[in-house]
Amino acid sequence: MAWMTINGGERGQRTRYGAAATLVLWLAAGALLTGCAGTVVGAGATAGVAAYQERGLEGAARDLKVQAAITELWFNFDHTFVVHLGLNVYEGRALLTGAVDDAKVRADAVRLSWKVEGVKEVLNEIQVTDEGGAVVMARDTWITAQLASRITFDETILAINYDIETVTGIVYLIGIAQNQDELDRVKAHARTLFYVKKIISHVRIKGAS
């Protein structure tokens, strides 16, 4: 899930949106991967939120485990990675985002991500750029919050299946769309927002191979 990534710094901070509660997924990950069913039950009705995702509770828990493993590798290699880079894992597909000024950081992040068991694909969207600062960060935060709100209140969109990242005005999407029309509607919402420069989608259409 998107909220797990550690945030910090100025130019490197990203903003993200995930539909299910992080705490619930942490509990679910521990329960499903260790066989402790009571932990899931103890999470209460909120656990059902994750279950409503197309990837299901188990799928969300597996993704969270992969994300934790990648984050740990990054941190052990260079603790600044978790400050300047964003990470979303969905169905084993690791979306790497962020803004850095050194191409080697991007290459190392990709290399380390592939080392984790369960990673099916690494989507390298890390920008090598000098653009950033407090103003850009604030705009990115605003874009993500606005888009998250709009798709959540759009009854034709199952927003729970989408994660959103915004970096230097570029909106990144990952998740599962019910159909192309739904995905087009999400993109349309993004295009109406100020400061959005581009939309890059890694969303899978439900039922598509």
**In the predicted structure, residue 39 carries a pLDDT above the cut 70:** no
Burial (CB < 10 A; 0-12, 13-18, 19+), residue 24, is buried
Cα–Cα dist 25/4, whole Å: 10
Q: What does DSSP assign to residue 19?
A: S
Cα–Cα dist 88/111, whole Å: 16
Say what the pTM is: 0.79
| Among the ranges given (22-26, 89-93, 171-175), the one the predictor scored with the smallest mean pLDDT | 22-26
pLDDT tens-place string over residues 98-112: 999 999 999 999 999
Which residues fall within 8 angstroms of residue 9, CB to CB, at 6 or more apart? Answer: 80, 83, 84
**In the predicted structure, residue 32 carries a pLDDT above the cut 80:** no
Cα–Cα dist 145/131, whole Å: 21
**In the predicted structure, residue 55 carries a pLDDT above the cut 60:** yes
CATH architecture of the domain with residue range 134-205: 2-Layer Sandwich (3.30)
CB 19 within 8 A of CB 49: yes
Every domain of the chain and the residues it spans: 15-128, 134-205
- Average pLDDT in the chain: 83
In this structure, the dihedral spanned by the alpha carbons of residues 59, 52, 3 and 205, taken in order and rounded to 10 degrees, is 70
In 115-197, DSSP assigns E strands to 121-124, 127-128, 162-167, 170-177
Banded model confidence at residue 49, pLDDT cuts 50, 70, 90: low
Cα–Cα dist 182/62, whole Å: 26
**In the predicted structure, residue 12 carries a pLDDT above the cut 60:** no
Is there a common fold for 15-128 and 134-205? yes
Q: How far is CA 68 from the centre of its chain?
A: 13
Higher pLDDT, 202 or 132: 202
Cα–Cα dist 4/69, whole Å: 12
Section 73-102 average pLDDT: 96
Assigned CATH for 15-128: 3.30.1340.30
